[in-house]
Amino acid sequence: MKSLTHLLPYLPRYEVVGELDPSISITALGNDSRHVLPGTLFIAYQGRNNDLHRFVPAAAKAGAVAAIVEQAVEGVAIPQIVVPDGREAWGWLAAAWEEHPSRSLRVIGVTGTDGKTTTMSLIASMLDALGLPYGMITTIGARIGTREVETGEHVTTPDAPIVQRFLREMVDEGMQVALLETTSHALAQHRVTGVEYDVAVVTNITHEHLDEHGSLEGYRAAKRSLFERLRTSYPKPDTPKVAILNADDSSYEYLSPLESDIQLPYSIESSAVRLRARNLRFERDGTRFTADTPIGEVEIASPLLGRFNVYNILAALGVGIVFGATAAQLQEGIAMLKVIKGRMEAIDEGQDFLAIVDFAHTPVSLENALTTAREMTSGRVISVFGSAGLRDRAKRGMMGEISGRLADLSVITAEDPRTENVEDICAEIAAGAERAGAVRDQSYVIVHDRAEAIAWAINEAKPGDLVIACGKGHEPSMCYGTTEHPWSEHEAMRGALQRSNAPTLKADC
């Protein structure tokens, strides 16, 4: 329980409508009128599909003692606190409610279009090598001490109250560092407002989520805001504000002018940066390279596959260096990470070809995955992929074109079609594949059911080939209509491999 006197000073701007007793006791924060209890401070805002202001009267009737609103609601007896952005206010209030836990942690935020979860896992491994206790919130879930906590099916960063509660639990359990996968949605929707960042890491910024942000510029601006927060973030003793940037990505020119105490660019291409990978060797069982670092030359070996993972490794090395790692700790931190669920993960049921599950669901990540797959086999590359419904339509044709160019055989299928027609989505992907020269029923097929598509690809594979299913990775569900149905890419792949002697399925007509 807290008083409004305690909470309101943390709002950047507000105006009170009605009589307000600042000593009012608040028992909870909430934005769902169905769950309001007496003493709740109700938070309303205009959402993408729903205006929560219409529920203020119901919240008041249920016992809310005040409401945070973006515009005053008529006919409501409880006091209203008008703010420019209700989501932003919720972020600051959630942080104040939990007594600002991120001020007692060294907070690392990782953003980017691709590679966030892999980079997070590499950084976590680095912190293990350094012996620093940490908690983390990623796409796959949250870890607080030894506890694993689910964070949702298609959500990378939870809403502000959950983020702040996790951070509070990290502090209470003795963590020193917090790792946050910081998505563009989280930044634009203020899910991480009130989090006091110390280190900001970017993997890359490419074509994705234009449905949410309206344009590539809007998407880039959301990512940029993480680095802008370094300048205003709460100062902590002996903790510099650090920006770790990909000097080979177009985002570098956009982000590098921003202010920070330390800026550490990383690169494969440029010899001008202080953190660089050279002498790259890609092998079937992993990747090796020489890292030129601010603490000297370090030989790196990782079981992770592909050039794109070299960038993820470099970003993690940057964090290790900022945290004072020795060369031996850098090597150990990278080598310790063996497998990341759903990221270039091999599935072995004794077959005489390679089968891989990967989360690649953007044009750049699909290109990276297929390029890496090509380096892993002398046989054919068979890709299975789709593109999500009610999301960025422009990437569908782009992904079809990429697979049509890089894969020997593309199997186009469903990937969370939601309320869109699967056939229409697949047709848009197929049009891109044909632009790259792919021919239907020769170098690409369409199998609308994803399980059948994976089984089709497995049955088509010959000794020495590589089958890679992209787009779902670790996700535990698939959305048809408005319903999340249980789904496991791993089970679908294993089941197909175990039944691989069954008759070959026919592609959809």
Spell out, as residue ranges, where the chain has pLDDT lower than 50: 153, 209-211, 213, 501-509
Structural domains of the chain sorted by starting position, each given as residue range(s) with its CATH number in brackets: 2-96 (3.40.1390.10), 99-335 (3.40.1190.10), 345-498 (3.90.190.20)
pLDDT on residue 334:
98
Report the pLDDT value the prediction gives residue 501, as an integer from 0 to 100: 46
Angle at 220 between CA 223 and CA 245, to 5 degrees: 60
Contact 340, 116 (CB under 8 A): no
**For residue 59, what pLDDT is reported?**
97
* DSSP states along 430-472: HHHHHHTT--BTTTEEE-SSHHHHHHHHHHH--TT-EEEEES-
pLDDT at 341: 84
How far apart, in whole angstroms, are the C-alpha atoms of residue 190 and residue 89?
A: 9
The two tokens of residue 292 are 């030129």
381 phi/psi in degrees, rounded to 5: -100, 120
Closest by CA to 288, choosing from 324, 333, 334, is 334
**Residue 506 confidence (pLDDT):** 42
First to last CA, the chain: 62
**471, 415, 474: which is closest to 141 by C-alpha?**
474
Which residues are paired to 281 by β-bridges? 288
CA distance 276 to 272: 9
In the prediction, which pLDDT does 417 show? Answer: 96
- Under the phi-then-psi rule, with left for phi > 0, alpha for psi from -120 to 50, and beta for the rest, what region is 237? beta
DSSP assigned state of 190: T
pLDDT of residue 155: 53
Question: What does the alpha-carbon distance between residue 41 and residue 494 come to, in Å, rounded to a whole number?
Answer: 49
CA atoms within 13 A on the CB side of 443: 21
pLDDT given for residue 213 in this prediction:
45
Q: What is the pLDDT of residue 170?
A: 97
- Annotate 279-323 with DSSP letters as a single string: EEEEETTEEEEEEEETTEEEEEEES--SHHHHHHHHHHHHHHHHT
**Tens-place pLDDT, residues 394-432:** 999 999 999 999 999 999 999 999 999 999 999 999 999
Residue 20 is predicted with a pLDDT of 84
State the burial class of residue 115 (Cβ atoms within 10 Å of its Cβ: 0-12, 13-18, 19+). Answer: buried
Res 338: pLDDT = 83
Paired tokens of 204: 């890359």
